[in-house]
Amino acid sequence: MDAEITAARVAATDVTAAEVAVAELAAERVPEVVRLCRRALDLPEDAAEAEALVDTLWVRASADRAVRVFGAYRAGELVGVLIGSRSAGQGRTGHVDLVAVDPAWRRQGIGRALLTRVERALAELGAAEVLLAGNPPYYAWPGVDVRYTPAICLAVALGYRQESTAWNMTADLSYDASPALRSTEAAEARLAGQGVTVRRAEPADLPALAEFARANFGGAWDAELAGSLGRPGAGCHLAERDGEPLGFAAYGSSRPSWFGPMGTAPAAAGSGIGGVLLRRCLRDQRAAGIDVAQIGWVGPVPFYSRSAGARIERVFFLYRRKLDTTE
């Protein structure tokens, strides 16, 4: 372990396995963490977006909530990392946002040591429970992808309880005739005849869109919209009548290949606005070189299947564990 970590982080260091130590990491370690994630995230679509994931979960999230990052080192080499955060405001829920262990060092207690250490850190921040689940608006996955089997084994071993299941849908953008890319021209003309304007959203639209999202949908969609406007690799389209929002669709808030959130005013349900906004966003993603878009944390499966030919693909388990805060 190099002198900087040893000197600056020794109080937060625990010996966890032979020649392996856990230390809290500072932001200058971001490039090192990205390199580890590129080799430790087993799914190619995740490894390819490692830089965006770390930026979202650590750099961007730190501006709005408490984030704690721990690394496991062996002989000065980072072999494991975990990013944890507390829910927004003064909530008493902590989240594990990312855990990655070098494949050569798995099943040697590193994941367990990292998770145990972040549980203590989150408890110190006031958390009474920890979720292995996304912490909107800055999240990379809804939960643990079922194909990350070592992470599921770790959760079970440490007493986490699976409480729900979530899924993504995949939209194929790799060929011109994809149903996800079909024209919206006729539908937009029909909507225009009803006084509805469909256009690309600009940063100046954020206050009205955020208020619309809060009034109609709640949650963290207003903040996710903020992350989709005015940022490279992200964007948003809206529908409005007489300057009042009727719907929006966004992409790239958490990671470039992911679509969402999207919402249509209840009064405009069935108007076709949603399908138009969806496909406008997917065409943007295709133009940016993305061949497969992930529609994240999906609710209305039939809508996305019908509007974009999307199919359920990624499935996630969400876990929860109560912390012992009596000490």
Same domain, 231 and 94: no
Name, in order, each residue with C-beta under 8 angstroms of 186's C-beta and a sequence gap of 6 or more.
Answer: none
Q: For residue range 274-315, list pLDDT tens digits in order.
A: 999 999 999 999 999 999 999 999 989 999 999 999 999 999
Query: How confident is the model over 159-175, as a mean pLDDT?
Result: 98
Q: Is residue 6 scored above 50 in pLDDT?
A: no
Answer whether residue 72 is part of any domain. Answer: yes
Same domain, 153 and 203: no
Same domain, 26 and 134: yes
Six-digit token pair at 248? 């929006």
Q: How confident is the model at residue 15 (pLDDT cuts 50, 70, 90)?
A: very low
Same domain, 101 and 219: no
Same domain, 140 and 41: yes
Same domain, 146 and 8: yes
Six-digit token pair at 22? 């856990």
Answer whether residue 313 is part of any domain. Answer: no
Query: How confident is the model over 237-242, as a mean pLDDT?
Result: 97
Same domain, 190 and 114: no
Q: Could you count the other beta carbons within 10 Å of the beta carbon of residue 76?
A: 10
Same domain, 21 and 129: yes
Q: Is 151 exposed, middle or buried (0-12, 13-18, 19+ CB in 10 A)?
A: buried
Answer whether residue 302 is part of any domain. Answer: no
Single-letter amino acid code for the residue at 133: A
Q: Is residue 224 scored above 50 in pLDDT?
A: yes
pLDDT at 59: 97
Answer whether residue 197 is part of any domain. Answer: yes
Query: How confident is the model over 241-251, as a mean pLDDT?
Result: 97
Number of domains the chain contains: 2
Kindly write down the DSSP assignment for every residue of 134-162, as one continuous string.
--TTS-S-SSEETT-HHHHHHHHHTT-EE
Same domain, 68 and 182: no
Same domain, 143 and 219: no
Answer whether residue 299 is part of any domain. Answer: no
Q: Could you count the other beta carbons within 10 Å of the beta carbon of residue 310?
A: 25
Q: What is the pTM of this model?
A: 0.91
Q: For residue range 95-153, list pLDDT tens digits in order.
A: 999 999 999 999 999 999 999 999 999 999 999 999 999 999 999 999 999 999 999 99
Answer whether residue 303 is part of any domain. Answer: no
pLDDT at 5: 42
How do beta strands 77-86 and 93-101 pair? antiparallel
Q: Is residue 17 scored above 60 in pLDDT?
A: no
What CATH number is associated with residue 182?
3.40.630.30
Same domain, 159 and 228: no
pLDDT at 326: 65
Q: Is 269 helix (H, G, I), strand (E, B) or coil?
A: coil
Strands of 225-269, DSSP E: 235-241, 244-251, 258-264
Give me the domain span that covers residue 184: 174-290
Answer whether residue 27 is part of any domain. Answer: yes
Same domain, 149 and 32: yes
